[in-house]
Amino acid sequence: MLNFDQFTCTKCGQNVVCIPRDYAKFERRSFVCDLCLSVIFDKTYPRNLKGTTTIFSAAGNSLGDNIIMEVLERMYKQDNPDETVIFLNDEENHAEAPTKYQATKFFINEFCRNDIPICFQGMIRYFATNDICKYAEVGIYPKLRFEPQKSVILGQPEKYIVFHFRNIEKHPTRPKPDRNVPRETAQGLVDFANSLGYAPVIVGNDDWMPIVGAFDCRNKLSLPEIAWLIQNARLYVGRDSGMVHVAAAVETEIVAWGFSGERWYPKMPKGDFTALQKDESDLENIKQAIKWRIG
Ligand SMILES: [Zn+2]
Residues 6+ apart with CB under 8 A from 117: 94, 95, 98, 106, 123
CATH class of 160-294: alpha beta
Q: What is the CB neighbour count within 10 angstroms for residue 22? A: 13
Q: Which residues surround ligand 1, an ion (CB under 5 A)?
A: 9, 11-12, 33, 36
- Taking the centre of ligand 1 as the mean of its atom positions, its distance from the CA of residue 160, in whole angstroms, is 44
Give the C-alpha separation, 79 to 46, whole Å. 11
**Per-residue pLDDT averaged across 192-202, rounded?**
96
| Cβ contact 221:206 at 8 Å | no
Determine the Cα–Cα distance for residues 3 and 20; give it in Å rounded to an integer: 7
Distance in Å, CA 203 to ligand 1 centroid: 39
Ligand 1 center–CA 15 separation, angstroms: 8
CA of 234 to the centre of ligand 1 (A): 40
| Topology at the third CATH level for domain 51-137 | Rossmann fold (3.40.50)
**Left, alpha or beta for 288 (phi > 0: left; psi -120 to 50: alpha)?**
alpha
pLDDT reading at 176 higher than 70:
no
As beta bridge partners, residue 161 has: 200, 235
* Cα 286 to middle of ligand 1, angstroms: 34
- pLDDT level of residue 225 (50, 70, 90 thresholds): very high
High-pLDDT (> 90) share of the chain, %: 62
Q: Amino acid identity of 28?
A: R
Where along the chain do the CATH 3.40.50.2000 domains lie? 160-294
Cα–Cα distance measured from residue 226 to residue 148, given in angstroms and rounded to the nearest whole number: 8
Confidence at residue 9, expressed as pLDDT on a 0 to 100 scale:
93
Average pLDDT over residues 39-47: 90
Could you tell me the pTM of the whole model? Answer: 0.87
CA of 26 to the centre of ligand 1 (A): 11
Q: What is the mean pLDDT of the chain?
A: 90
H-type helices in the chain, by residue range? 20-28, 39-42, 63-79, 97-100, 128-137, 183-195, 223-231, 242-249, 283-294
What is the CB neighbour count within 10 angstroms for residue 5?
15
CA of 125 to the centre of ligand 1 (A): 14
pLDDT at 166: 81
Q: What is the pLDDT of residues 105-152, one digit of tens each?
A: 999 988 788 888 777 788 888 989 999 999 999 999 999 999 999 987
Give the Å distance between the CA of 249 and the centre of ligand 1: 29
Ligand 1 center from residue 12 Cα (angstroms): 4
- Ligand 1 centroid–CA 32 distance in Å is 5
pLDDT of amino acid 100: 95
Beta bridge partners of 103: 53
Residue 56 Cα to ligand 1 midpoint, Å, equals: 23
**Ligand 1 midpoint to CA 115 (Å):** 25
